[in-house]
Structure 1
Amino acid sequence: MSLSSVETGQGGHFIPLSAWPGWTETMRQASRAHRMGQVLQALAFYRLALGMAREGLAAGREPDADACLSALVCSSRCLSALQADEGSSALAAEVLADAHLALLGLIHREPAGSAWRKAAVWHSHETHTALLEHWQAHGADPAIERALRAGCLVLCTPSAAVH
C-alpha cells in the first residue's frame, strides 16, 4: 500500500491502495471531480468507490481485510464530507453511521484473531472519530446516535474488543 495521500479538495484526502487498483482509480476520479467543483460527478464516483468496498466486504476474502475496510472507511468519509459541504448533513451522517455499524458488525461476529476483526477494530477508531466530529459540526442526528449506541452495546459484551 502506498503511503502518499491524494488531495480530494475541501481539505480531504485518501491513500491509494495498491491491492485495490480499481477502487484507487475511482477515488482519483472522484477527487479530481471534487477539486474541480463537479459535485454530481464526485458524488457518483465516491458512491461507486463505496460500492466497491461494500462488495469486497460482502465477499469476505481474508487477505483483503485491511485494504477492504480502509476503502470502506475512506470512501465513506469522502462521500460524507462532500454531502455535508453541500448541505446534506443528514445524508452525510447516514454514510458515516453505516460504515461504523458495518465495522461493529464485524467486531461482534468475527473470531478474536481474525484479520477482519483486527482490521474492523483498527478502522472503527476512525469512524468513531468521524461520527463525533460530524456531531460537533452539525449537531445531533439520529443516525449518529444509533451508531454510537451500537458501539456502546458492543463494548458491553464480554467477548467484544474495545474500539
Structure 2
Amino acid sequence: MLFSELTGRPVMTVAEAKRAGVVDGFVVDPARATVVALRLQKTPDSKRNLLSLSRIRAIGPDAVMVPDAESLRTAEEALAEQAELAGKGLDLPDKPVLTERGEETGTVDDAHFDPETGALHALVTTEGEIPGRAMIGLGTYAVVVRAGSESHPVTP
C-alpha cells in the first residue's frame, strides 16, 4: 500500500461506529524500516493523535478500523509504550534523499509499505524507487540511505 492511498482516509471505531480522526501522516522507525504508527488529524481530542499499527483492527478501502477511541494515544502515552515513536514529527514525503556519503538522489514522493506489519518496502522518489531496507536515517531535513542503493527508475 502507498502512503498516498492511506492519507486522508477516516479512522472509525468499531465499538461506537464514530469517526476517531483522519490519517494525516506516518511514524517511521528508520532503524527497522518500519511504519510503527499513523498520525491523525481532526480527532475529537486533538492531543490523542497517534495510532500504533498494533491497535488497528483492519484497513479497508474506505476507512481504517480501530476497536474504540481509546486506541488513540497522545505523544506522551505513545512514547511510554514504544520508544521508537520518538520520531513522531518526522515525515518521509517531500524530503530530499541523501546517501550516507552526502550525495543527493531525488526527493521522496511516496512510500510502499505493508499495512499489516508496517514493513517499508520502497521509497518512491523523483528519481525512481529505493528499497526500504536501504534507509538508515530520517531527520528533519532528509532521508539517509546506504550508498549504492540509489534509485532505480520506475517502469511504467
TM-score higher than 0.5: no
Q: Which of structures 1 and 2 has the larger relative contact order (alpha carbons within 8 angstroms, sep 6+)? A: 2
Which structure carries more strand by proportion? 2
For Structure 1 versus Structure 2, the TM-score category normalised by the shorter chain is under 0.3
**TM-score normalised over the length of structure 1:** 0.25
